[in-house]
């Protein structure tokens, strides 16, 4: 069952996993493969997952989940044994990472701490994201549902992504939206996410002008013909506070 071919494949995978940590974690530069194997939680989680996944694929009961459970307890990275993960996968820091059962991850994908590749609810079947090759997902990002993240995409820290992500794009915010596609800012009426209409500010401005009109009408009744200030009630823009922060720290 485990021949020389399997051994060579496993050794190759471990080499590539360690190389991924060394290439993509600046803190791992100059650190030897032995130290990375001993002290990098992302590498531990991936190696454990490779064993759990292989056992899951051949139908071994219970053991794959037990391996995933112990790996999670050790690293804070929870990977369902059924999740499919390609070569060169790297989780930096670990902790709070969740990768669901039907998630599929391509080659050379990087995740930071707190990333969720999850489902949106209680749906069954394919319900977790598919992440193509060379994708980077920032810390705290939540990718939910059976969406596809195109190759080479970057997902900003703390984004919440529930729609497909185009290849070679940068997606940020909640809801996650592309701010770069193929290196260019997206154009079109829906592209300016920074200057969205502000209904609350619009309502306050409307109220202020109504109050101004009422004040003038009231003053006209109280003192007919008297000179008065005709300007509407003022709405002052919020200004940045100057000086040291009152919150301290």
Ligand X SMILES: CC(C)(COP(=O)(O)OP(=O)(O)OC[C@H]1O[C@@H](n2cnc3c(N)ncnc32)[C@H](O)[C@@H]1OP(=O)(O)O)[C@@H](O)C(=O)NCCC(=O)NCCS
Q: Which helix or strand (DSSP H or E) is residue 154 part of?
A: strand 154-155
Nearer to ligand X, 10 or 179 (CB): 179
Coil, strand, or helix at residue 50?
helix
Report the nearest approach of ligand X to the CB of residue 144 (Å). 17
> Of 48, 81, 76, which is closest to residue 64 (Cα–Cα)?
81
Q: In this structure, are residues 81 and 56 in contact, taking their beta carbons and an 8 Å threshold? A: yes
Nearer to ligand X, 148 or 158 (CB): 158
Nearer to ligand X, 67 or 171 (CB): 171
Distance CA 131, CA 150 (A): 7
Q: Per DSSP, what are the bridge partners of residue 181? A: 169, 184
Report the nearest approach of ligand X to the CB of residue 90 (Å). 12
Nearer to ligand X, 102 or 134 (CB): 134
Report the nearest approach of ligand X to the CB of residue 167 (Å). 14
Report the nearest approach of ligand X to the CB of residue 26 (Å). 10
Q: Which helix or strand (DSSP H or E) is residue 41 part of?
A: helix 41-57
Binding site for ligand X (CB under 6 A): 93, 112, 138-139, 154, 156-158, 170, 172-173, 179-180
Report the nearest approach of ligand X to the CB of residue 195 (Å). 11
| Residue nearest ligand X (C-beta atom) | 138
Nearer to ligand X, 31 or 208 (CB): 31
Q: What angle do CA 242, 244, 248 make, to 5 degrees?
A: 135
């Amino acid at each position: 069952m485990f021949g020389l071919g399997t051994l060579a494949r496993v050794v190759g995978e471990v080499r590539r996993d360690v190389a991924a940590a060394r290439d993509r974690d600046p803190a791992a530069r100059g650190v030897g493969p032995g130290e990375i194997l001993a002290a990098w939680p992302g590498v531990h989680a991936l190696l454990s997952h490779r064993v759990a996944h292989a056992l899951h694929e051949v139908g071994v009961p219970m053991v794959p989940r037990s391996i995933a459970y112990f790996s999670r307890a050790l690293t804070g990275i929870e990977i369902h044994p059924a999740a499919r993960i390609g070569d060169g996968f790297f989780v930096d820091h670990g902790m709070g990472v969740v990768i669901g059962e039907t998630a599929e991850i391509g080659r050379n994908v990087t995740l930071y701490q707190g990333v969720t590749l999850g489902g949106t609810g209680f749906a069954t079947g394919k319900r977790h994201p598919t992440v193509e090759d060379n994708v980077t997902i920032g810390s705290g990002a939540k990718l939910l549902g059976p969406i596809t993240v195109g190759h080479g995409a970057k997902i900003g820290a703390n984004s919440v992504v529930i729609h497909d992500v185009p290849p070679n794009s940068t997606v940020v915010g909640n809801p996650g939206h592309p701010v770069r596609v193929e290196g260019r800012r997206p154009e079109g009426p829906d592209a300016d996410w920074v200057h969205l209409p502000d209904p609350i500010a619009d309502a306050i401005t409307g109220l202020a002008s109504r109050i101004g009109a009422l004040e003038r009408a009231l003053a006209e009744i109280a003192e007919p013909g008297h000179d008065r200030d005709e300007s509407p009630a003022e709405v002052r823009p919020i200004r940045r506070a100057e000086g040291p922060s009152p919150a301290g720290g």
